[in-house]
Structure 1
Amino acid sequence: MATKFYTSKVLPIGLEVFGLNLNQPLEQAVIQQIKKDVTKHRLVVFRNQGKVSGSKHVEISKYFGEIDNTTFYKHPASPCVDIFCVSNDPEKGCTGVGMSGWHIDGTFRSCPYAYSIYHMLEVPKQGGDTMFIPLTEIISKLSPETRSKWERLSMVSDRRGHIVHPLIYKHPKTGKPTLCMHLGMTTAFVYDFDRSKDIKDFEPTGPEETAAILKEIETAITDHALVYSHKWMKEGDFIISDNLAVGHQAGPIPPSVADAGLRVLHRVTVMGTVPPCKDYDFIPPDCENCSY
């Protein structure tokens, strides 16, 4: 595939781009093409970028909206307040990030982040992949019974006042069904949640049922082999992801920096503007003349 601005190759999830230097000033037409490709492909991987400065990383991220820098620890190694610095070395960044289960970023916010934008500065010699999953396809492969159940569920975040979000809702930009979930930061689920009422009016699932639902979601992901494991390249990959359309988690890495090699990742998150909500009446997919 090719545009007049760069060449590309379709990935199992997303698009791999070559021939564009993000360190150089970008014309407005190039920016619009990038935004179009992110909406269409959900994940765009720019190869061979070398070192992208913190200021350039933030500049690119602002093409997609307002930066949200209020919810993460400002590590001393971070080049600026807008960048969340992640590493397997505590002196180089925050450790153990993204390893608690499949998730989208910002489920503890009333509006989860719209985009997550990553740049790998140091690539380990072993492990350290980032794994991505397409949320719409996961929903499409559910059995009618499971789909109907999930449509009734809302997740309760274990952070910041127990924010509640529907498990399945329509993506605010594409209108496609997507998931709001964090398998490592969900304290419970509620059935048939109504935002016009207080959360105290609803009975949350108990620990056993909550664990069973989380396992059910994880199984739906792994059973259908929908995982794309991204291997970061030495040349400096830069990834723009539609955080509301693609889930992710950090892959395994040897615990010793000496064994694994140094890993340093910079992430910028773009503020969400639309809270996940049920604005439709779900028709079970096994119904007569169903449409959703």
Structure 2
Amino acid sequence: MNRFIIQGMKMIHSNYKSSPLPIGIEVFGVDLKRQLDQVTVERIKEDVTKHRLVVFRNQGVVDGHRQVEISKWFGEIDNVSYAKHPMSPNIDIFRVSNDPVQGCTGVGITGWHIDGTFRSEPYSHSIYHMVSVAKSGGDTMFIPLTQVVESFSPEQREFLNHVWMLSDRCSHLCHPLIYPHPLTGRPTMCFHQGMTSGFVRDYDPTSGKLDLLNEEENKSVISAIQSAIESVTVYSHKWLETGDFILSDNLAVGHRAGSIPSSVETAGLRILHRVTVAGKTSPCKNTLQKQDCCY
């Protein structure tokens, strides 16, 4: 039988506890392998929006169907054609490994980014599950994008408010570098240090004309972003247990993969399952919908 406690005006499962992390929270008392009551599901979803990152440890191996089922709490799944691997347990799971036989290699190492900048609507959430932990290396690092934006000087912020990133993928999509988060309204960033061909000034989607920044201006944008990133808190998640499970607001946190030796004999086998949730809105300079957040 489920047991609940009253917290404010809401009923919360009595086992649901959390503690703060440098970015986000760690939740205890929840077994993600089991079906959860709707009250607990809604609490988890609210906490992802409020805290940006929600970590569950010691979950054991959550099968592929269940990971996809959990991911659908946040919306429809967006799986990309290039991210298929024959060892993936589900068509919607992007399987990453340091062994090419076991999964896709070299993922997330080209710099800080959010997922899906090549989409007109970047992914809203990314859901990570560690199936096999390496003996050394392999951390996943996260940064708070609102704090990155707030670290720019007034002059930099004024300049960067007029800058759009240009994806280097075949779509060559343009997204505003700084824009309000579609749920919280807090300033955030659409960027990818490894998948950007350049930057554009005051892009007008109706005309499609590109006023490309010159080389010196591009360098100043890259430098400003990197300096701001270096000034904020970085949460480096050490995957200590097979079964660690992370729910992330992809639009509120940037991330990158830490280094890991490619030799399985040296580092041990690392297998990570990732599911991405389709975005619901294109990054834009105005937003009307706002929800509470704690940052």
TM over 0.5: yes
The separation in 1 between residues aligned to 2:170 and 2:74, in whole angstroms, is 25
Which of 258, 261, 271 pairs up with 2:268?
261
In 1, the alpha carbon distance for the partners of 2:70 and 2:285 equals 32
Partner of residue 116, structure 1: 126
1:65 correspondence with 2:75: yes
Is structure 2 residue 122 aligned with structure 1 residue 148? no
1:74 aligned to which of 69, 79, 84: 84
Question: Which residue does 2:236 correspond to in 1?
Answer: 229
Deviation at residue 94 of structure 1 after TM alignment: 0.2
What residue in structure 2 maps to residue 27 of structure 1? 37
Query: Which of 219, 222, 225 is the aligned partner of 2:227?
Result: 219
State whether residues 57 and 241 of structure 2, in contact with CA within 8 Å, keep that contact through their aligned partners in structure 1.
Answer: no
Number of equivalences:
277
Work out the CA distance in 2 between the residues paired with 1:266 and 1:228.
20
RMSD, aligned CA: 1.6
Q: Secondary structure at the match of 1:216?
A: helix
Pick aligned residue for 1:128 from 131, 134, 138: 138
Q: 2:47 aligns with which of 26, 31, 37?
A: 37
Q: Which aligned runs of 4 or more in structure 1 are off by greater than 3 angstroms?
A: 206-209
CA positional deviation for 1:74: 1.1
The partner residue of 2:251 within 230, 244, 250 is 244
- Given residue 182 of structure 2, which amino acid in structure 1 is its aligned partner? P
Q: Which residue of 1 aligns with 2:110?
A: 100
Tell me, in whole angstroms, the C-alpha distance in 2 between the residues paired with 1:142 and 1:210: 16
2:111 is paired with a residue of what secondary structure? coil
Residue 256 (structure 1) shift: 1.7
Q: Does the 8 Å contact 2:13/2:39 carry over to 1?
A: no
Task: State whether structure 2 residue 186 is matched by structure 1 residue 179.
Answer: no
2:205 pairs with 1:205: no
CA deviation digits over 1:190-237, x for unaligned, max 9?
111122211xx2221245543442232122101x14211010122411
1:175, CA displacement in angstroms? 0.8
Output one character per residue of 1:226-255: Cα deviation in whole Å (capped at 9) or x when no partner: 211010122411000000001100011123
Deviation at 1:48, TM superposition (A): 0.9
CA contact under 8 A between 2:131 and 2:271: conserved in structure 1?
yes
Is 178-187 or 226-235 further displaced after alignment? 226-235
Give, as a single letter, the amino acid of the residue that structure 2 aligns with 1:22. L
Q: Secondary structure at the match of 2:73?
A: helix
> What's the CA shift string for 1:92-119, capped at 9, x where partnerless?
1000000000000000000000000000
Unmatched tracts of structure 2, length 5 or more? 1-6, 288-295
Contact 2:164 2:176 in 1 (8 A): yes
Residue-by-residue CA offset, 1:168-209 (whole Å, 9 max, x unaligned)? 0011111111000001100010111122211xx222124554
